[in-house]
């Protein structure tokens, strides 16, 4: 049992411990090195052109230099999984945009949306992003969605 005292009106608030969710300690990242995320994305794009044609997807790829310090294996997983997630969660004739701008990677489906439940598939990716002290955003709209990774 945890007690909190409110000094303004001299009341005691009692909470049971099972109602309190402890914050998860941040995982440490080992084996850091320079990782060229633009190079990884460009390789994925070049290697998946047949898949894009097969799935009838239009992909606007707008690369810019982006080299970060991190664990290469983990960051490769982030890029690969997010890239294929956006392809797999698309419909024929959707227009996708993947761009790197100001140390930020945008994965955008301009024509289709998804649910928060579908985004849960990327929870392990979001944990890796947080461990690397990067930020991310998930934007879900009625007719589009974005996954934004900020490496600043």
Q: What pLDDT was estimated at residue 120?
A: 93
b/e for 124-147, b at 16 or more Cβ within 10 A?
ebbebbeebebebeeeeeeebbbb
User: Is the pLDDT assigned to residue 138 strictly greater than 90?
Assistant: yes
Q: What pLDDT was estimated at residue 152?
A: 78
pLDDT band at 5 (very low <50, low <70, confident <90, very high): low
Q: What pLDDT was estimated at residue 64?
A: 97
Give dist(CA 150, CA 100) in Å, integer.
10
The beta-carbon contacts of 62-66 under 8 Å, at least 24 apart in sequence, are 62/97, 62/98, 62/99, 62/100, 62/101, 63/38, 63/99, 63/100, 64/38, 64/99, 64/100, 64/101, 65/38, 65/100, 66/36, 66/37, 66/38, 66/100, 66/103, 66/105, 66/151
User: Is the pLDDT assigned to residue 16 strictly greater than 60?
Assistant: no
pTM of whole model > 0.85?
no
Query: Tens digits of per-residue pLDDT, 63-114?
Result: 999 999 999 999 999 999 999 999 999 999 999 999 999 999 999 999 989 9
């Amino acid at each position: 049992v945890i007690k909190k005292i409110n000094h303004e009106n001299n009341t005691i608030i009692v909470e049971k411990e099972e109602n309190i969710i402890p914050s998860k300690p941040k995982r440490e990242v080992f084996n850091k090195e320079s990782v060229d995320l633009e190079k990884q994305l460009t390789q994925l794009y070049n290697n998946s052109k047949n898949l894009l044609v097969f799935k009838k997807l239009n992909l606007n790829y707008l690369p810019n230099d982006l080299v970060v310090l991190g664990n290469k294996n983990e960051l490769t997983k982030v890029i690969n999984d997010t890239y294929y997630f956006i392809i797999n969660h698309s419909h024929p004739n959707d227009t996708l945009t993947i761009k790197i701008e100001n140390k930020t990677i945008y994965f955008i489906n301009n024509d289709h949306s998804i649910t928060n439940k579908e985004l849960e598939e990327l929870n392990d990716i979001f944990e890796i992003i947080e461990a690397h002290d990067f930020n991310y955003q998930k934007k879900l709209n009625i007719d589009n969605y974005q996954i934004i990774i900020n490496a600043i």
